[in-house]
Amino acid sequence: MEKQSPFSGSTLLVNAQPPTRRQSRARRFFFGGLALITISYLAAPHFDALPENIPVWQPDHQERFKAGCVQPDPIFPSKDEDLDKLQDFIATETFRNASIARLSGAVQVKSESFDDLGAVGEDPRWEVFYDLSHYLAGAFPLVHEKLLVEKVNSHGLLYTWKGSDESLKPSLLMAHQDTVPVPPETIGAWKYPPWSGAYDGKYIWGRGSSDCKNLLIAELEAIELLLSANFHPKRTVLLSFGFDEECSGKQGAQKLSAFIHERYGDDGLAVIVDEGSGYQEAWGSRFFLPGTAEKGYTDISITVRMPGGHSSVPPAHTSIGVLSELITNIEANQGYPTRLDDENPYYSQLQCGAAYSPGFPKKLKKLLSHRKSSSHKCKAKPDYLALEAAKQNQYTRYLMQTSQAVDVITGGIKINALPERVTVTVNHRINIGETTQVVRDRLTDLAGKMAHKYNLTLHAFDGKEEPSSIILTETKDVLEVAPVTPTDASVDGPFKVFAGTTRAVQGEDVIVAPGIMTGNTDTRYYWALTKHIFRFDPGYDPEDPTGGFDNGIHTVNERVSVAGHINSVKWLTTWVRNMDEAKF
């Protein structure tokens, strides 16, 4: 008899006689393999299975892209004669000169923070922050007269401008007072001395000028201006300035956030704005990209312990050699896939580019238009959209991949003595959609293979250590991926106000899209206070569009554009007024 195949329409013969054992086994292999192929085909996105045969892009996809990247109309505050004059005053030479003097003076206060600082009140290196707070009090007299100023852990500064409507959640502006140190051996390489605050007609130079005393001063200038114009907020405005962001923020931001949380509770704030990303040109368009997510973070130390002895009779491989081989294996295979999770803000940025940018690549648009949810993707298959997007540059690739960097290595104490203990520390920034566990699992696997090869014991994150072993430990600064800020501008909420404010200040032609931070800010301690966190640098200068990250942050010749700084003040005054009129 005959039966129609449900797979291909071909005819299969069904024998009346029982099949032989060999026939049965052959049929099991055939139908099992055929079923596996069919299931795999049906389950997988077709463009992933056949990346060279991408489905054709259709014009109606453009509307879908726009729906995923709504650009609200510019939002301007309600008309008010005195307050509207502020924008004109901000553009004057009088304000410009005063602002230059204020920021220059703040840069001249040498407020470095160090990784080895002792407790506040015990280590005298903290005392410089008394000088900075004293300077701020003199530079902004109205702020310090009209606002409640509280000091948390001696040097953390919390300003509260009480609003008249207690039903409105407060908004918070953040910055940090400290800077990274200036290595003494680099001072001669600076164009202007690093603590001079020199102004050359375009830039203010010095450590902290763009990271981030410029934002701190701009926030205080905005509040000072609003006070001078007799603005009376309905919504409470907070300013929180930590003092050890450059060494993890545990003395400053962590204490400040706990203090604020005790007062306002979980989800007690409407929105937070802190330092972060800003302007970027891409695909022929101008983008403003507030950081709405941060990658996770973990440092893993790998120690190899092997017997010592005299160097004249060495083993085939010393502990340094074994650790070097392990480092080579770690770097030879990056290990972490390039994947774009639906929650990753860069996915939204791609949709914005596809919707509005004339130079958006056609292949990316095709892949994006047929993208299926990342939750339905087979984890073993490549993410072709992410891989194609990553071709743009290395920075873009790390928006979609867990990074690893071998940064610190120690070992060996004498040239004629075999090293008994050597250690390397590897820094990792965790991709959206992953956890720090992926790092622990991978390094455990690689270290386990090395331990087996050289007959060593493996202690992976168990807190134990013994001779002739490889030990994996994790530092205390473990941070999972940050919660992602909601960014649907089609609904009333902080992101709509944020995007509308930015388009009002920077022009209706700009695209406001969510961005992602590859580094971490003080907002890591504020997650419980609000779901709406924007890490943003509003200081755009059309003549210096690359901004701070090309202007010497954490290296020699740090500087900030004065025009960009003035634009920060303009954006901040508009933001405070727009948030004051928002009803959520």
The catalytic site residues sit at 178, 245
Is 376 marked as binding a ligand?
Answer: no
What's the token pair of residue 405? 């960097």
Cα(501)–Cα(290) distance, rounded to whole angstroms?
12
Helices 93-107/128-139 angle, 10° precision: 170
What's the token pair of residue 80? 């008010």
DSSP state string for 165-207: -TTSPPEEEEEES-B----GGGGGG-SS-TTS--B-SSEEEST
Three-class DSSP labels, 465-531: CCCCEEEEEECCCCECCCCCCCCCCCCCCHHHHHHHHHHHHHCCCCEECCEEECCCCHHHHCHHHCC
CB atoms within 10 A of CB 379: 8
Task: Answer for the pair 13, 2: CB distance below 8 angstroms, yes or no.
Answer: yes
What's the token pair of residue 245? 């962001």
Is 46 marked as binding a ligand?
Answer: no
Cα(163)–Cα(576) distance, rounded to whole angstroms?
12
Is 565 marked as binding a ligand?
Answer: no
Is 261 marked as binding a ligand?
Answer: no
CB atoms within 10 A of CB 15: 8
Task: Answer for the pair 247, 501: CB distance below 8 angstroms, yes or no.
Answer: no
Maximum C-alpha span of the chain: 102
For the chain, the distance separating the N- and C-terminal CA atoms, rounded to the nearest angstrom, is: 72
- What is the C-alpha radius of gyration for the chain, rounded to an integer number of angstroms? 29
Amino acid at residue number 351: Q
Give the pairing type, strands 171-176 and 271-277.
Answer: parallel
Is 274 marked as binding a ligand?
Answer: yes
Instruction: Could you list the residues known to form a binding site for Zn(2+), using ranges.
Output: 176, 211, 246, 274, 554
Binding residues: 176, 211, 246, 274, 554
